[in-house]
Amino acid sequence: MNKLYVLALSASLASPLAFADTKPVSIDNKPAFIASLMKQMTLDEKIGQLRLISIGPEMPAKEIVKEIAAGRIGGTFNSVTRAENRPLQDAAAKNSRLKIPMFFAYDVIHGHRTIFPISLGLASSWDMQAVERVGRVSAIEASADGLDMTFGPMVDIARDPRWGRTSEGFGEDPHLVSEAARATVRGLQGKSASAPDSIMASVKHFALYGAIEGGRDYNTVDMSPMRMYQDYLPPYRAAIDAGAGGVMVALNSINGVPASSNMWLMQDLLRKDWGFKGVTVSDHGAITELMRHGVAKDNREAAKLAIKAGIDMSMADTSYGAELPGLVKSGEVNIKDIDNAVREVLGAKYDMGLFHDPYRRIGKASDDPAETNAESRLHRDDARDVARKSLVLLENRNQTLPLKKGGTIALVGPLADTQIDVMGSWSAAGFLKQSVTVRQGLQNALGQQGRLIYARGSNITEDKKIVEYLNYLNWDAPEVVQDPRLQVEMLEEAVKAAQQADVIVAAVGESRGMSHESSSRVSLDLPANQRVLLEALKATGKPLVIVLMNGRPLNLTWAQANADAMLETWFPGTEGGNAIADVLFGDYNPSGKLPITFPRSVGQIPSYYNHLRLGRPFTPGKPGNYTSQYFDEENGPLYHFGYGLSYTDFTVSDVTLSSQTMQRKGSVDASVRVKNTGQRDGATVVQLYIRDVAASVVRPVKELKDFRKIMLKAGEEQVVRFKIDEDKLKFFNPKLQNVAEAGAFDVQIGLDSQNVKQASFDLK
């Protein structure tokens, strides 16, 4: 399209009357271009732009085309091929009166056609280049399918693993999640969201969705402003500062006001304080849900509250279309409120490059891929590399791992050979036949060497109600396929396999649907039948390697005590099985670290590492002394934040500070010497924590402020230096000012959050 996009020119393709008195406007002048377009729009056309509709059960395709041509839909989601999207774009860009292009969105959360590890796994890599690469590859693949926008990254801080959507985010820590948020936005949007191989990010779920009470999905959030600002809001802000063009609004209420009608959240914080300039999108049906929250008596009031709060687009919701015309007519809603929303929607379309070329991602029909799921469209090397980095070695007694490629391996467990689970939830554009299971991965690695005996050993669960629930969640195919054999038959087969083997690899955990939206659990245990399987395997006396798949911290106390080795693989994606084999056989030395605390029991939740200091903190070894503890369980987590083993050993020297004092606006360098003292090359994550020794309010025991992933050859050492400036010492005080207070600070550096070396300095 040439530089001078003339609305009058496009008018010649539409109704000749539409632009009768329109002056030429340069497409390079975004505000003027959009203002000029808005002048041409009827109220109905404006309201039409605010409607984001799901392709699928909501409306048959034919009807959607008609609605689009009538100017009553602004964008759609859930259509994921160029061929599906083209007729919809034709309806808008060729057949509607004003030819305003549509945009096409989808939940591209951890890959598109190629599925990468779930976000919790990505965070475990602590490798932000890898996270950015995932975003980039996702954008390349999604844009090649005609998509313009994703509802991601999902950056809700999760401190309660009962919440099924823990799997979808990057863990419990504000700093790590913020870094991952930035990296993802950079990857998705590339140099510009308008590039044909970029897609626009819309960060979600704004805000605080991860803090729902009790980890029960869609529950309420009640939180002090200090905690919000300090711990939960930074990741959304990070994504926005990185340029995310969109924000998806959360389903929950915050201190009594639903996010979708929350003026403070949407106006004061997002628009005024943070200066967000992009488009806001409601979550699925959230505007109508304002009635169920009990803040709107009817749909009319719901629409009014949402548009006034600043919800630009309503997702899968008819209240805007049905109610806004009447509300404007009666004067209850000002046309300015509508215009503000329309401006943002058109602005986002502009930023996606769609006014320049509505087909920039859909392309020409003649260029459509012959086969959507063609192998050639995948990025397997990237997927395998990132998946290897996301695996966390939790235990390795007597150097059980790496395994030798030889001898006999018994591979057992309900997750050993299931292609659907490897991909994790929110991976619907992934083609499950292309994902590599643990069984396939081990077989690929072994080739002709050694022998692999497989036995399923158990179902995911024998609880029929749970199976029914999990299968209800998916309308395409059953999520969980039950082996019709009796539990005891499967068990016997598995034990027989184990008896013939030199080592047992047991792939156990959750099916992917167990860690998903609307999949909250009261228990973090492995399902009982899987535990029975592990106990029977253990009883054979053969070395037991547990390979876990799960989307949340599980209660692993039995496994921790009984496994000879244990590898956390989350849901590792398309190349999962190969990546797992790489680590099990030592072709890759594991380097992942936990981005979330693993408690010993559900009763300890919340169990995050960066909790506030207490007047009576728990004193190890002194059970009855009136300190903060549970008397019926060992205190502290099972695996702490930042933890993860390697096949090599590292040492960390004492911390050297460049100065004992720091001036305002100055900085102090903190350095350690990290040495690989083992026999193998390996990577590790050096983590910097800071503790405010005494402040005007209670501060956390420590907070992650920086980290560096380094690669060291066997015997090699490296000095790792962190620059600490005033920003790293700041916190939000009761007036919500971001301040650093004078006084002492402890600097802790280590390879996890607990085993650290410490030094201190004073801020003047």
CB closer to ligand BGC, 107 vs 703: 107
Give the separation between CA 500 and CA 497, rounded to whole angstroms: 5
574 half-sphere exposure, CB direction, 13 A CA radius = 28
Q: Which helix (H) or strand (E) holds 241?
A: helix 234-241
DSSP letter assigned to residue 209: G
Question: Is residue 44 within a helix (H) or strand (E), and if so which, with residue range?
Answer: helix 43-49
DSSP state of 297: S
CB of 639 to ligand BGC, least distance (A): 28
| Residues 670/688, Cβ–Cβ less than 8 Å | yes
Residue nearest ligand BGC, CB atom distance = 151
Could you please report the per-residue DSSP string of 603-636?
A: GG-S--SSPBP-SS---TT-TTSS-S--TTS-SS
| Per-residue interface string for the shown chain with ligand BGC, residues 89-108, x marking contact by CB under 6 A | ------------------x-
Cα separation, 68 vs 96, in Å, equals 7
- In angstroms, give the least distance from the CB of 283 to ligand BGC: 5
The smaller minimum CB distance to ligand BGC, of residues 127 and 283, is found at 283
| Buried b / exposed e along 631-650 (16+ C-beta atoms within 10 A) | eeeeebbbbbbbbbbbbbeb
Q: Rounded to whole angstroms, how far apart are CA atoms 174 and 208? A: 12
- Do residues 712 and 718 lie in contact, with contact meaning Cβ atoms separated by under 8 Å? yes
- Which residue, among 1, 666, 39, has the nearest Cα to 335 in the 3D structure? 39
CB of 147 to ligand BGC, least distance (A): 13
CB of 312 to ligand BGC, least distance (A): 15
Q: Which is nearer to ligand BGC, 151 or 689 (CB)?
A: 151
Min dist CB 54 to ligand BGC, Å, is 7
Q: Which is nearer to ligand BGC, 150 or 629 (CB)?
A: 150
Active site residue 654: no
Of residues 283, 312, 337, 752, which has the active-site annotation? 283
Q: Which is nearer to ligand BGC, 179 or 283 (CB)?
A: 283
Query: Which lies closer to ligand BGC via its Cβ, residue 517 or residue 564?
Result: 517
DSSP assignment of 440-507 equals HHHHHHHTTSSEEEEE--S-S---HHHHHHHHHT-SSS-SS----S-HHHHHHHHHHHHHT-SEEEEE
Return the number of the residue (456 or 521) whose C-beta is nearest ligand BGC: 521
Determine if 640 is a binding residue for ligand BGC (CB under 6 A).
no
Q: What share of the chain is helix, strand, coil (3-state, %, to 5)?
A: 35, 20, 45
For residues 54 to 93, the per-residue mask of contacts with ligand BGC, x marking binding by CB under 6 A and - elsewhere, is ----------------------------------------
> Cβ 136 to ligand BGC, closest distance in Å?
21
DSSP-derived secondary structure letter, 333:
S
- How many Å from the N-terminal Cα to the C-terminal Cα in the chain? 58
Place of tokens 């939790």: 394
Pair 724, 669: CB distance under 8 Å: yes
Nearer of residues 314 and 646 to ligand BGC, judged by Cβ: 314
Residues 119-178 within binding reach of ligand BGC (CB under 6 A): 151
Nearest to 562 by CA among 583, 547, 545: 545
Instruction: Give the gyration radius of the chain's Cα atoms.
Output: 27
Nearest distance from C-beta of residue 623 to ligand BGC, angstroms:
43
**H helix and E strand count, the chain:** 23, 27
The answer to whether residues 226 and 260 touch, using CB atoms and an 8 Å cutoff, is: no
Q: Which is nearer to ligand BGC, 109 or 490 (CB)?
A: 109
Of 505, 513, 281, 334, nearest to 413 by C-alpha is: 505
CB count in 10 Å sphere of residue 87: 17
Compute the distance between CA of residue 240 and CA of residue 249 in angstroms, rounded to an integer. 13
CB of residue 428 to ligand BGC, shortest distance in Å = 9
CB of 743 to ligand BGC, least distance (A): 42
| Cβ proximity to ligand BGC, 328 vs 428, nearer residue | 428
Helix (H) or strand (E) holding 656: strand 656-657
Q: Which is nearer to ligand BGC, 251 or 401 (CB)?
A: 251
Tokens 């979330």 correspond to 596
Minimum distance between the CB of residue 321 and ligand BGC, rounded to whole angstroms? 19
Please tell me whether residue 708 adopts helix, strand or coil conformation: strand
The least CB distance from residue 134 to ligand BGC, in Å, is 18
DSSP SS3 for 53: strand
517 binds ligand BGC (CB under 6 A): yes
How many CB atoms are located within 10 Å of the residue 606 CB?
15
577 neighbors 440 (Cβ within 8 angstroms): yes
- Taking the C-alpha atoms of residue 332 and residue 318, their distance in angstroms, rounded to an integer, is 18
270 vs 690 by CB, closer to ligand BGC: 270
The footprint of ligand BGC on this chain (CB under 6 A) covers a number of residues equal to 6
Return the residues of window 253-312 that contact ligand BGC according to CB under 6 A: 283-284
Q: Is 188 helix (H, G, I), strand (E, B) or coil?
A: helix
What is the Cα–Cα distance from 288 to 406, expressed in whole angstroms?
A: 60
The residue from 86, 99, 112, 204 that contacts ligand BGC (CB under 6 A) is 204
At closest approach, how far in Å is the CB of 149 from ligand BGC? 11
Binding site for ligand BGC (CB under 6 A): 107, 151, 204, 283-284, 517
Catalytic residues: 283
